[in-house]
Structure 1
């Protein structure tokens, strides 16, 4: 059962270890070594405690990963609600601003913690995940998206930002770019468009993300009134 669906076990007195400390240590470990190398024993060693104490708070490695992933979502600030997000009859422009701000925050958080994007196939039931997902769904609903169209819009936006984060989770970008440039110079007859415009590894990822999101939202905008374009 997911850690989010179990009640915390009561403990007498002041516990020597807290869930917050466990999550903080887990995120630091994951940033340094990645999720493949995380074990309960190594996490307990990092916390300076025994495995028995650690298991009192979290039952499995999956618990730790779920908690750490939700903490990463918590770094993505939810946009202020002062902007006009619109309604089904008057979608306005605020919905685009809110979505753009949220996805920018989410991507930035995942880039600070590259391991996080690879774990998003897990059950996402933590309070930070749900709060941000609720904001996105409520904003889209306020713009006029309903039912399956709302689900499709949220799915497209979520997958766009996840893909953008995964594309940046690589090795030495300088070496990769040099190798790609050499390949395209050698085989420019086979890949003339790539040779002209450059391999993706040589582009400005931040600018490409921002412009790509504009294209995506432009495509969604005609449907924001609740009517088909």
Structure 2
């Protein structure tokens, strides 16, 4: 799986072929089929391998449901940003043990926080969608500082039409991690017991 992850990191989903994987391992293509059924199985295993979660660093953090949720969700996003191909694969792959373990941790954490069983799935999917959306947006938003400044300047010239986003200087905001954490806080505020 390490060789598959390395190939995916270097060449993306379309760049992983069984031939390229076999060459990287110094073996024949047919030898791979002793270990995996097909390329789809390689995708499943590679994806799950990059989503492993080891839990919070301190026991105190594990006692604070919010800190535990933030740690796990930030770790999930960071894992996918280290391996940008993972965000595109996750919605269409089998859920392996590592992502299922993350979802179990999140479910237990939210239950411990007082989220009712009837609301748990909505809470999980809302956080899943937030992490996935923030990850895909960050991974694909690749404008240089000059391009962002030019876009903001164009927006300034259109400020009568778009006054609020021009005033907030939306296109110059490059604090991806801070925005993720603050947005996550907004979501968790909505899940907090009343």
TM-score of the superposed pair, with normalisation by structure 1? 0.77
Counterpart in 1 of 2:59?
82
Distance verdict in 2 for CA 1:109–1:144, change over 3 Å: same
Counterpart in 1 of 2:83?
113
Deviation at 1:77, TM superposition (A): 3.0
Please point out which of 140, 164, 184 is paired with 1:193. 164
Measured in 2, the distance between the counterparts of 1:80 and 1:218 equals: 23
Deviation at 1:184, TM superposition (A): 0.8
Measured in 1, the distance between the counterparts of 2:171 and 2:20 equals: 37
SS state of the match for residue 27, structure 2?
A: coil
Instruction: State yes or no: 1:38 paired with 2:8.
Output: no
The number of residue pairs the alignment matches comes to 193
Moved over 6 A (4+): none
Distance verdict in 2 for CA 1:160–1:119, change over 3 Å: same
Distance verdict in 2 for CA 1:154–1:172, change over 3 Å: closer
Alignment check: 8 A CA contact 2:77 2:135 kept: yes
Deviation at 1:117, TM superposition (A): 0.8
Distance verdict in 2 for CA 1:119–1:49, change over 3 Å: same
Which residues of structure 1 form unaligned runs of 5+? 1-22, 87-93
TM-score of the superposed pair, with normalisation by structure 2? 0.90
Which residues of structure 2 form unaligned runs of 5+? none
CA RMSD of aligned residues (A): 2.0
Alignment check: 8 A CA contact 1:66 1:122 kept: no
Counterpart in 2 of 1:166?
136
Counterpart in 1 of 2:99?
129
Matches within 5 A, 1:1-229: 23-74=1-52, 76-79=53-56, 82-83=59-60, 94-170=64-140, 172-174=142-144, 175-200=146-171, 202-221=173-192, 224=193
